[in-house]
Structure 1
Amino acid sequence: MTFTKYQFNNYCYWPSNPKKIIEFIGGSYLASKPDLTYKRFIKSLIDKNYAVHAYKYTPQFDHQELAMKAWKDFKNCQRSLSKRIGTSIPSIRIGHSLGCKLHLISPDGGRNCEKFISISFNNFSANRSIPFLKKISQKLEFNSEFSPSPERTFGIIKRTYNQKNNFLIKFNSDELDQTDKLLSCLRARKEDNSKGIKLKGTHTIIASAGLRENFLGDWADDDFKRNTIKQISNLIDKSI
């Protein structure tokens, strides 16, 4: 018997006997309703018998606070699932865009999961991420930046991120992607086992399918997007 609902700010899908838990954090704004914006991607994981916890959040400048809240809510959902099925099962963390950063600066340093999968990692500054902010800040003579800043984020990863098993996915037509920088940062640590792969696609390819399908119907979700999402879910399944 399956269970689907929002709980602890997570969209939760619980099969009766899931093999593992997927803890997913989407990108800025897209993650405001992940069961809609990442519908097809989440379904591709559900079809492989994973329990899915997809975090819902509103963008803010304090990314460390968002990471803390997500970590706590994932823990609460994991406890609820364990109680429901009568056993504890391991978790796999997946992030898309900003969601990758939030997982990487999680307060447990990635210790309490088996693996982390990054899709289109993004760690740009506030001025780069929010184009109009640079113009406003220059006009009003103030500085505004995400916390932690891009530079400090890489420092945190090098010093405190302890997960050795990381699988990084990037796309060939993605101008927002910084996966190469992340991979270099991870591999600079001792005993790292991080791997990366490049696929055809754009930054939002795993999200746009769900959006288009919801508003325009199945006909709007072209075969390339469908096949790419299937390819990604198959890669995730095999890497786990």
Structure 2
Amino acid sequence: MEWLEISGGWVYLPRRDIKGIVHFLGGAFVATAPQISYRLLLEQIGKDGYATIATPFLNTLDHLAIAREVLNRFETILDRLHQTNKLGKRYLPVYGIGHSMGCKLHLLIGSLYNIERAGNILISFNNYPVNRAIPFIEQFNLTSTFNVEFSPSPIETQELIAKNYAIRRNLLVKFTNDNIDQTIELNPILRQRFPNMIALLNLPGNHLTPLSQEIQWQSEDSNTPISTLGQWFNQGFSRDLHRLKQEISIWLDPTLSF
């Protein structure tokens, strides 16, 4: 399998029969190249049998426009895949997976547009106001002088979700060492809409766990201190990422056993 660039997005197709389709949206500032920044996570999803469509985006204050743009791009890519018969002819369920800001975008899409989703996986949800989300912006006094804020604002986003979010089945993932995660605030809002359809997982890791990559340490001798340190470093990140990948696989296909 290899990554394909189609209509401004990145696609990873399974070699065997496709079980479903995943629309992936990454976090702010790392979403411009998801095929690189989330490579290990997305390729595992592909190996599990899901056609993965990752739509990049540039972060701006207008999150409504971004949500509309990534949805349009996803649907364009999906049409292209169907036209070229890369997905086969049978019905395939569509799932959304988001990390950090990507969660907010999936929640906006599910609240504003009439889309069909079998479920969403929301990892490390973040809905902070602009003065907490953008480093150092408060030092320039822009938010008070020019009334700078995301559109919709955090409060408006919560209200939209509470009134209109239509995706019934959701998996919320929170990491134990993540001090910018707001999943605990999102959980009761979704449970109020869809009791018994919301699963919440607390997993080892931090806000950057979905971005974990294997670092190649340059050393001919695997027993040197630098190689030993590299192996320890990779093992810690890989363990947390493996657990995340495992839980995603089980939620997408509960018949799997590990």
User: Taking structure 1 as the reference length, what is the TM-score of the superposition?
Assistant: 0.90
For residue 119 of structure 1, the aligned residue among 123, 148, 152 is: 123
Q: Distance in 1 between matches of 2:13 and 2:199?
A: 29
Q: Is the 8 A contact 1:9 1:57 kept in 2?
A: no
The percent identity for this pair of structures is 29
Match of 1:222 in 2: 234
Number of positions where the alignment pairs a residue of Structure 1 with one of Structure 2: 237
Question: What runs of 5+ residues in structure 1 fail to find an aligned partner?
Answer: none
Match of 2:207 in 1: 203
Judged with a 3 Å threshold, the aligned counterparts in structure 2 of structure 1 residues 192 and 143 are, in CA distance, closer, same or farther, namely farther
Counting only pairs closer than 5 Å after superposition, residues 125-204 of structure 1 correspond to structure 2 as 125-137=129-141, 141-191=145-195, 193-204=197-208
Does residue 100 in structure 1 map to residue 99 in structure 2?
Answer: no
> Cα RMSD (Å) of the superposition?
2.4
Q: Distance in 2 between matches of 1:139 and 1:191?
A: 37
Judged with a 3 Å threshold, the aligned counterparts in structure 2 of structure 1 residues 110 and 199 are, in CA distance, closer, same or farther, namely farther
Amino acid aligned to 1:55? T
Judged with a 3 Å threshold, the aligned counterparts in structure 2 of structure 1 residues 188 and 134 are, in CA distance, closer, same or farther, namely same
User: Taking structure 2 as the reference length, what is the TM-score of the superposition?
Assistant: 0.84
Aligned partner of residue 181 in structure 1, secondary structure: helix
* Greater RCO structure (CA 8 Å; 6+ sep): 1
Judged with a 3 Å threshold, the aligned counterparts in structure 2 of structure 1 residues 179 and 140 are, in CA distance, closer, same or farther, namely closer
Q: Distance in 1 between matches of 2:185 and 2:179?
A: 14
Q: Distance in 2 between matches of 1:172 and 1:27?
A: 18
Q: CA deviation at 1:82?
A: 2.5
Judged with a 3 Å threshold, the aligned counterparts in structure 2 of structure 1 residues 3 and 40 are, in CA distance, closer, same or farther, namely closer
Q: Is the 8 A contact 1:125 1:149 kept in 2?
A: yes
Does residue 11 in structure 1 map to residue 13 in structure 2?
Answer: no
Stretch deviating more after TM superposition (131-140 or 168-177): 131-140
Structure with greater Cα Rg: 2
Q: Distance in 2 between matches of 1:105 and 1:124?
A: 15
Match of 2:223 in 1: none
Match of 2:94 in 1: 91
Moved over 3 A (4+): 107-111, 212-221
Match of 1:74 in 2: 74
Q: Distance in 1 between matches of 2:119 and 2:81?
A: 19
Aligned partner of residue 12 in structure 2, secondary structure: strand
Q: CA deviation at 1:4?
A: 2.8
Stretch deviating more after TM superposition (137-146 or 170-179): 137-146
